[in-house]
């Protein structure tokens, strides 16, 4: 299945960043993730106020990295309009933990297999980002992994309307996104400019920016 994006051109150099000394290699990404700790209980961003005794639901997402057209890309999905929640929104493959799952990797890989037909054995897991608490009270662990490209996806059409990629340098360019603070609250909303007709915003945009900051992008 094609990624669906149009030819991409950018004025920023790739794959280096002004904050990164040298090319962005897989080994560099692994080092940054491991240095981060990858603790599934680590404190990340919360979209809601957290209070003692609050019941949070377990979830995990796969943050898929692919390398093609001489650039790293992140792979996203657009949720189907028939979904009960978050219809038509851009997201990473993922969802709620199943009973018996003991690691975020299990959940993320299972969900990616169910949603887009990504075989768990085809994903090279690199590490984890800090967790995030979403507005829907999910405690989400993002799991970063490299997937082969090109790849034949088997999309679950009842859940996913489209699979596509966005180049990491475009995502790292701060001119391509906005951040809107919420008055009187220590929170903000991140929203990217449209890319190939797709709107990346909210929790998925926040995870994307967290990943970029971890790598040393401004």
pLDDT at 1: 40
pLDDT at 100: 95
pLDDT at 43: 54
Residue ranges for the chain with pLDDT beneath 70 = 1-22, 37-43, 83-87, 218
Burial of 99 (0-12, 13-18, 19+ CB in 10 A): exposed
Predicted TM-score (pTM) of this structure: 0.85
Select from 3.40.50.1000, 3.40.640.10, 3.30.2270.10, 3.90.79.10 the CATH code of 26-215: 3.90.79.10
Residue-range domain boundaries for the chain: 26-215
Q: For residue 103, give every residue at least 6 positions away whose Cβ sits within 8 Å of its Cβ, in sequence order, or none.
A: 40
DSSP 84: S
């Amino acid at each position: 299945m094609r990624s669906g994006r149009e030819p991409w051109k950018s004025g920023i150099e790739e794959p280096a960043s002004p904050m990164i000394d040298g090319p962005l290699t897989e080994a560099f990404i692994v080092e940054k993730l491991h240095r981060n700790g990858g603790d599934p209980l680590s404190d990340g961003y919360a979209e809601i106020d957290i209070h003692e005794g609050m019941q949070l639901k377990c979830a995990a997402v796969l943050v898929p990295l692919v390398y093609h057209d001489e650039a790293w890309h992140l792979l996203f999905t657009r949720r189907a309009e028939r979904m009960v929640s978050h219809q038509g929104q851009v997201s990473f493959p993922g969802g709620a933990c199943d009973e018996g799952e003991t690691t975020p990797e299990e959940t993320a890989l299972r969900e990616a297999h169910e949603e887009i037909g990504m075989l768990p054995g085809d994903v090279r897991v690199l590490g984890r980002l800090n967790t995030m608490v979403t507005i829907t009270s999910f405690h989400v662990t993002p799991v970063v992994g490299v997937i082969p490209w090109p790849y034949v996806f088997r999309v679950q059409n009842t859940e996913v309307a489209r699979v596509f990629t966005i180049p990491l340098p475009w995502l790292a360019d701060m001119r391509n996104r906005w951040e809107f603070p919420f008055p009187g609250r220590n929170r903000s909303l991140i929203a990217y400019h449209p890319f190939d007709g797709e709107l990346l915003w909210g929790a998925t945009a926040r995870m994307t920016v967290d990943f970029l900051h971890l790598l040393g992008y401004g």
